[in-house]
């Protein structure tokens, strides 16, 4: 099969996954940060990559700029955060990541 046919990792997707894999435990990066770090695409493109190929990397380390984890995986993400001692902000009705401390830039 050719490259165009298969849904293989594009250059962009490959780079995104590489960056996510480089994020150290206890740290996180926002979608926009990754896009800016790569200097290409945009936050939504990073989100799309994570939605399709994110299963092979530490997806819980990729969150919104607010500190809100990926939709549908909040519970699973929280478990990882506790496991990695990620800086958290425990609110009354929701728990988010403290971006001020957890935000990581290569």
Partner DNA sequence: GTGCTGACACAGG
Partner DNA sequence: ACCTGTGCCAGCA
Q: Which residues bind DNA (CB under 7 A)?
A: 10, 30-33, 40-48, 50-51, 54-55, 59, 62, 64-68, 70-71, 73, 89, 91-94, 96
Do 17 and 98 contact (CB within 8 A), yes or no?
Answer: no
Nearer to DNA, 24 or 94 (CB): 94
Nearer Cβ to DNA (32/87): 32
We find the least distance from the C-beta atom of residue 32 to DNA, in angstroms, to be 3
Taking a C-beta distance cutoff of 8 angstroms, is the pair 97, 67 a contact? yes
Q: How far is CA 40 from CA 10, 16, 25, 36, 53, in A?
A: 13, 10, 25, 7, 18
Q: Please, which residue, 73 or 87, has the CB nearer to DNA?
A: 73
């Amino acid at each position: 099969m050719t490259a165009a046919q298969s849904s293989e990792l594009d250059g962009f997707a490959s780079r995104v996954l590489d960056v996510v894999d480089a994020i150290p435990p206890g740290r996180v990066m926002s979608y926009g940060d990754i896009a800016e770090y790569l200097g290409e695409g945009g936050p939504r493109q990073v989100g799309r990559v994570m939605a399709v190929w994110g299963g092979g990397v530490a997806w819980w380390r990729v969150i919104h700029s607010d500190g809100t984890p990926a939709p549908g995986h909040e519970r699973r993400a929280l478990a990882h955060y506790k496991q990695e001692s990620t800086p958290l902000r425990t609110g009354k009705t929701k728990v988010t990541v403290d971006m001020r401390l957890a935000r990581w830039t290569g």
